[in-house]
Structure 1
Amino acid sequence: MKMIVGLGNPGSKYSGNRHNIGFMAVDEIHRRNSGFQPWKARFQAQVSEGRLGSEKVLLIKPSTFMNESGRSVGEAMRFFKLAPEDIVVIYDELDLPPAKFRMKTGGGHGGHNGLRSITAHIGADYRRLRLGIGHPGDKKLVSNYVLGDFAKADQEWLAPLLGLLADQAPLLAQGQDSQFANKLTLALEPEKAQRKSKTPDAPKSGPAKPAKAKGQSHIRQARQAKPASLPNSGPMADMLKKLLRKKNSD
């Protein structure tokens, strides 16, 4: 069995909050994939069992509020005797622009209270799917921002993102995180994927020859130049001959 956890806060008051994008993602997986049971209360959460592809999956939305999410996740993990790598946690990420996502396994909590609680209960080696919600620009505005509802304009990117995520959820259940990420990127950023496929191969060539240092050719010519010969005639030659004769006679 695999477990897909959406993070958020329970209750209609919070249902549209940016902080609840994890709940929204798991709800969309539940809606778009047939065979899941109705939601029911268990493990201090709302849970639904079903299948994604060939994998049996437990969808889970902790009812403990965000900063105590680990209690619910830990209880379910121990009951089904799962390892941390069997668990995918979906949550909001301030440091990613809206409509962007990142997949990774392990790491720190990055100040996210839901991850902080889960790590305290099951360790850090679970898989994470971060969904970008953007940043308000000022640290003082973060609390009101994440606990504020998505704007109507956000539906232009939010609905397609959640729909694609739900359609490709079987890959998450099968542990194929790289393929899952590639599928979403191809759908959400086709231009980026096209650029990657058209990147030309690096030209095949030997090592580049080092450039000649400035003035190097002049130095080489000076070293190869022959010394000038002594004059054979003229006043200078006569003077040199006299000096040589005087030196020989001494």
Structure 2
Amino acid sequence: MYIIAGLGNPGKRYDGTRHNVGFEAIDLLAHRNGIKVNKLKHKALYGEGFWGGEKVVLVKPQTFMNLSGESLRDMMEFYKLDIKNLIVIYDDVDIEVGTLRIRQKGSSGSHNGMKSIIHQLQSHDFPRIRIGIGKPQYGDLADYVLGRFSKEEISPTVEAIERAALAVESIVKEGIELAMNRYNG
């Protein structure tokens, strides 16, 4: 069984923002696999389904980004899941727009949602997929991540979200090593 969490901020005002690419990846996975992400529990919207014999839970924490760990801690405790069966998808300003980085484990970097998850779970030993959103050339970082993509950034971002969804499916069905080899970069 896997919990697949996409990070973002709840509410219409955050739809389409750089910080919500994790939510968009969950929406795409739900659509591709016929899973309705419409249950509300554990401070999250979630839905359950099966891929290739594996149960999957698609999760969109509703705590706002900086408290994502509260929701995922509750989900992990409820399902009594091993930390290695959590996959987190999120935005990363340290990666070029449209680029993916898949890792088996790692630090939070500068991402407050990941800091919250690592703090709440007391571990960084879980797979993650980072979707590059690039850095602002000037201005406030918070304004940048809560802003929308430029026209030039939309196409590579949509493609990265699609690759992230394929990478998650690959991790669940074939393992993380193959997914890393196939989708990193």
Q: TM-score over 0.5 for the alignment?
A: yes
Shift, 1:120, TM fit: 1.0
Q: Is the 8 A contact 2:102 2:183 kept in 1?
A: no
After TM superposition, the structure 1 stretch with the greater mean CA deviation from structure 2, 167-176 or 84-93, is 167-176
Partner of 1:68: 67
What secondary structure does 1:10 align onto?
coil
One-letter identity of the residue aligned with 2:21: I
Q: Deviations over 1:206-226 (max 9, x none)?
A: xxxxxxxxxxxxxxxxxxxxx
The amino acid that maps onto 1:88 is I
**Structure 1 outlier segments of 4+, above 4 Å:** none
1:166 maps to 165
Gaps of 5+ in 2: none
What code does the residue aligned with 1:74 have?
R
**Matching residue of 1:112:** 111
Q: Distance in 2 between matches of 1:90 and 1:175?
A: 18
Query: CA-atom RMSD, angstroms?
Result: 1.7
* Structure 1: runs of 5 or more not aligned: 190-250
1:49-128 pair list within 5 angstroms = 49-122=48-121, 123-128=123-128
TM-score normalised by the chain length of structure 1: 0.69
> Which moves more between the two structures, 147-156 or 161-170?
161-170
* Separation (CA, whole Å) in 2 of partners of 1:45 and 1:128: 18
CA distance in 2, matches of 1:67, 1:41: 19
Aligned partner of 1:25 in structure 2 is 25
How far apart, CA to CA, are the structure 2 residues paired with 1:155 and 1:104?
24
Amino acid in the other structure paired with 2:6: G
Q: Aligned pairs, how many?
A: 184
Matches within 5 A, 1:8-19: 8-19=8-19
Match status 1:176 vs 2:175: yes
Deviation at 1:127, TM superposition (A): 1.2
Task: Check whether the contact 2:43–2:61 (CA below 8 A) recurs between aligned residues.
Answer: yes
CA contact (8 A) 1:52 1:169 kept: no
* Counterpart residue type for residue 157 of structure 1: P
| TM-score, normalised relative to structure 2 | 0.92
Asked which structure has the greater CA Rg, the reply is 1
* Percent identity between the two aligned chains: 38
Residue pair 1:108, 1:124 contacting (<8 A) in 2 also: yes
Q: Residues 27-46 of structure 1: matches in 2 within 5 Å?
A: 27-34=27-34, 36-46=35-45
C-alpha displacement at 1:104, in angstroms? 1.2
- Kindly indicate which of the two structures has a greater share of residues assigned to strand: 2
CA distance in 1, matches of 2:136, 2:162: 25
Distance 2:70 2:103 in 1: 22
